[in-house]
Chain A
């Protein structure tokens, strides 16, 4: 996790509630964030998979893009991302990447078509750079950072029931739908999505209604507050990338096994092929395959292999682990990392250097645990 110095740490609008709920605060991406609550990482993780968890992810960036008309806006945004923006229906959301000229990844994000504008959610550590990048490279597009809203995520198989008790219409939403719902007396912007591999919602709520909403949710006996620790182990089991660790400016979307976020229209032979930063490398890798690939890695035994552990095969260093932890739901250590394409095949055995010894690691498919979305 991208820790920064303790000074200049920003408090979340819900800092008081986190303290009251027993949140243990740590610096993360410039914010003081709860890493866990009284239940602890393991219980928080398992509770989210069994019932529902509430995450405060207000550190993330919320941005609205407006253009002369929806098509102009979509085509403009397509100049920065390999995702198809044109063709995304109103009320729907998609995962996308901002790429650089070298074909690396500047950030990963969610963007939603809300009729006359796009609503974009970006990573906290990247938000200032993303906004500057969009302002410079999207002439004629208004880039508005939303700074008066919290972002809460309600995740888990019990999320629908818990949120529907406050607003029954959310039960009708399908995975990656977005909509406007009144919660705690305020207009909230909701998507049915998340970062855990579970069904759930992300809720953009005005700052002045956020505490009432968060309290109403944690008062539900099925909902526990969940910190960053469990957020990390949940996303890792779900095979989801953490920016700055599993993906960065040096990894291409194809190397990162995120080619599913590049729709057909943007690929060679598509209606709007290329036209995004780094297209040459990315389209070439889509055709011929990348030289290295992000894979799931299952260390044998119980010892977690974390970020930075080097991977070895035939006596040579061949790659590196980019994220790793103990997976409470799979009841085993889980990692992700990059390997040369020839080794990036599920079932391949490699070794990880752990405390001066080489320990066996099996290449596995991702996710470690099937997703539980409401399609």
Chain B
């Protein structure tokens, strides 16, 4: 598992990357009340805003961590956004992306580095 400075986790699953937000991020955001997911099939570039989440406090964007194609989205989150707070690193993944350039993953932190990053 890799982590971004934007508090996303990235997990390799076959040749895809599954993307979600960390426990730390979910805790900071508070109760999530709305999730908007990208279109399946969309070609996205690193740092594109691909997911919108709204908590009781504010709206936040989730950025594409790498270039690639969105191949699957976690549709049940749209109806049950509260899952993001309950199980952010498991059931509440947001999307799966097919990397255009897998080497982009090398830039990201491992778990120890991420834990140090959030202090």
Contacts and interface: CB of A to CB of B under 8 A. Distances in A.
24 contacts: A40-B31, A41-B30, A41-B56, A42-B30, A42-B82, A43-B31, A229-B30, A229-B56, A229-B57, A302-B34, A302-B81, A303-B34, A303-B36, A303-B52, A304-B33, A304-B59, A306-B59, A326-B33, A326-B34, A326-B54, A326-B56, A328-B56, A333-B33, A355-B52
Interface string A225-251: 000010001000000000000000000
Interface in A30-48: 36, 40-43
B31 A42 contact: yes
Given A36-B30, A42-B30, A229-B56, 15 more contacts: A40-B85, A229-B30, A229-B57, A233-B56, A302-B78, A304-B34, A304-B54, A306-B58, A306-B59, A326-B54, A326-B56, A328-B56, A333-B33, A355-B52, A355-B59
A302 B33 contact: yes
Nearest to A325: B56
B55 to A, nearest CB: 8
A104 B10 CA distance: 53
Nearest to A230: B56
A222 B111 CA distance: 41
A255 B57 CA distance: 28
Interface string A289-318: 000000000000011101000000000000
7 tightest CB-CB pairs across the interface, nearest first?
A326-B33, A42-B31, A41-B56, A302-B34, A303-B34, A40-B31, A304-B54
Which of the four size classes fits the interface of chain B? 10 to 19
Interface residues of A, number: 16
A333 B33 CA distance: 9
A229 B33 CA distance: 14
Nearest to B82: A42
Interface of B: 30-31, 33-34, 36, 52, 54, 56-59, 78, 81-82, 85
A162 B60 CA distance: 39
A233 B31 CA distance: 13
A290 B95 CA distance: 49
B30 A40 contact: yes
B19 to A, nearest CB: 20
A369 to B, nearest CB: 16
B18 to A, nearest CB: 23
B13 to A, nearest CB: 28
Contact of A41 (B34, B54, B57): B57
A306 B34 CA distance: 13
A302 B34 CA distance: 6
Contacts of B57: 41, 229
Among B30, B33, B59, B82, chain A packs the most CB atoms within 10 A around the CB of B33
A41 B57 CA distance: 9
A42 B56 contact: yes
Contacts of A229: 30, 56-57
Interface string A265-294: 000000000000000000000000000000
A36 B54 CA distance: 17
Nearest to A36: B30
B23 to A, nearest CB: 14
Contacts of B52: 303, 355
B62 to A, nearest CB: 13
A338 B81 CA distance: 29
Contacts of A36: 30
B56 A303 contact: no
A333 B59 CA distance: 13
Among A233, A326, A333, chain B packs the most CB atoms within 10 A around the CB of A326
Among A42, A229, A233, chain B packs the most CB atoms within 10 A around the CB of A42
Contacts of A40: 30-31, 56, 85
Contacts of A328: 56
B118 to A, nearest CB: 17
Contacts of B36: 303
Contacts of B85: 40
A233 B56 CA distance: 9
A322 B30 CA distance: 22
